[in-house]
Amino acid sequence: VDVAVETATRAEICAVACADLFLGAGEILASPMGLIPSLGARLARLTSEPDLLLSDGEAFLLTPESTVEGWMPYRRVFDVVAHGRRHVVMGANQLDRFGNQNISAIGDHAKPTRQLLGFRGAPGNTANHRTSYWVPRHNPRVFVDAVDVVSGVGYDHAVGPFHDVHRVVTNLAVLDFDTPDHSMRLVSVHPGVDVDDVLRQTSFPLEHDEVDETRQPTDVELDLLRTVLDPAGARNREVPS
Ligand code: F8G
């Protein structure tokens, strides 16, 4: 097995966990929001998923090295969303145990204490195709009993046959919804993190019967991250080790 001899940083573990979100994806549009999910999608394209399409979020499809390889103006992104051949990795100010996401507002909806991003593409994304989440600071303020506003739709608000909240990757762990009632489950903790650390940082109970350790990057993945995708090391500032 091609396992890296050098020690990976926490950020590199997270980027590889994000790359693994796309395993088996084939020729779909990957829409990673934020640095670590973007590194993950580009890494997947260079390793496990060579047919993955990467958009710049405006008008072009890019190679992992940022060369333009196609034209996808904004309106065509909506066609792809509706058609379902897309996997978005969104952020979250709040997430609950059924995967409802809030990026809209904090507090009472009639008089919010904080105005955030708004609903953006979240409702349509979660109704139409696979969605995952990236949370760089796993804590009880993000992992809440109930979100203040539902932006991305969770499993307790069925929105049809294409709803598919896949996984949540955080700075501590990987989680999914593969339980009988689709409540959140702890899949793996990153090297150096205890299961109890994750439970303490999560407001709701998490199933944690069979928890693995998140896998280490391979030598090839570490080399790509360090020399091709992020030579300046921005990843390690977003997620300190
Ligand atoms: C809180 C909390 C909390 C934050 N509890 N308080 C406070 C209490 C905090 C601060 C203040 C601000 C398809 C598609 C689209 C498109 C199209 C196409 C999408 C439709 C494209 C364009 C579009 C959605 C993509 C994301 C989000 C990525 C992040 C953020 C963040 C942080 C969410 C993590 N829990 N939280 N506060 N977008 N971004 O103390 O108070 O609130 O806090 O797919 O768009 O439109 O649709 O958010 O907030 O996926 O992940 O970075 O807003 O930066 O600064 O933390 O300090 O001011 O007092 P943030 P933050 P204070 S798909």
DSSP codes, 154-181: -TTS---TT-EEEEEEESSEEEE--STT
Instruction: Report the separation in Å between the CA atom of 7 and the middle of ligand 1, taken as the mean of its atom positions.
Output: 32
Nearest CA to ligand 1 atom 10: 114
Return phi, psi of residue 150, to 5°. -90, 115
Q: Which two tokens stand for residue 62?
A: 């890019």
pLDDT digits (tens, 9 = 90+) for 51-77: 999 998 889 999 999 999 999 998 999
Here the ipTM equals 0.95
pLDDT digits (tens, 9 = 90+) for 142-192: 999 999 999 999 999 978 999 999 999 999 999 999 999 999 999 999 999
* Whole-angstrom distance, CA of residue 127 vs CA of residue 115: 24
Place of tokens 């921005």: 234
**Residue of 120, 128, 144, 170 to mutate, ligand 1, most atoms within 8 A of C-beta:** 120
The closest alpha carbon to 19, from 155, 236, 158, 220, belongs to: 220
Instruction: Report the separation in Å between the CA atom of 93 and the middle of ligand 1, taken as the mean of its atom positions.
Output: 6
Nearest CA to ligand 1 atom 20: 121
* Whole-angstrom distance, CA of residue 85 vs CA of residue 83: 6
* Whole-angstrom distance, CA of residue 74 vs CA of residue 121: 12
Q: What is the pTM of this model?
A: 0.96
pLDDT digits (tens, 9 = 90+) for 87-120: 999 999 999 999 999 999 999 989 999 999 999 9
In order of 37, 50, 93, 236, 240, the CA distances from 8 in angstroms are 17, 24, 27, 11, 12
pLDDT of residue 57: 81
Report the atom number in ligand 1 closest to the C-alpha of 81.
13
Burial label for 59, CB within 10 Å (0-12, 13-18, 19+), is middle
Residue 54, classed as helix, strand or coil, is strand
Place of tokens 């489950």: 185
The closest alpha carbon to 142, from 99, 85, 187, 180, belongs to: 99
In order of 45, 101, 133, 167, the CA distances from 180 in angstroms are 32, 20, 21, 16
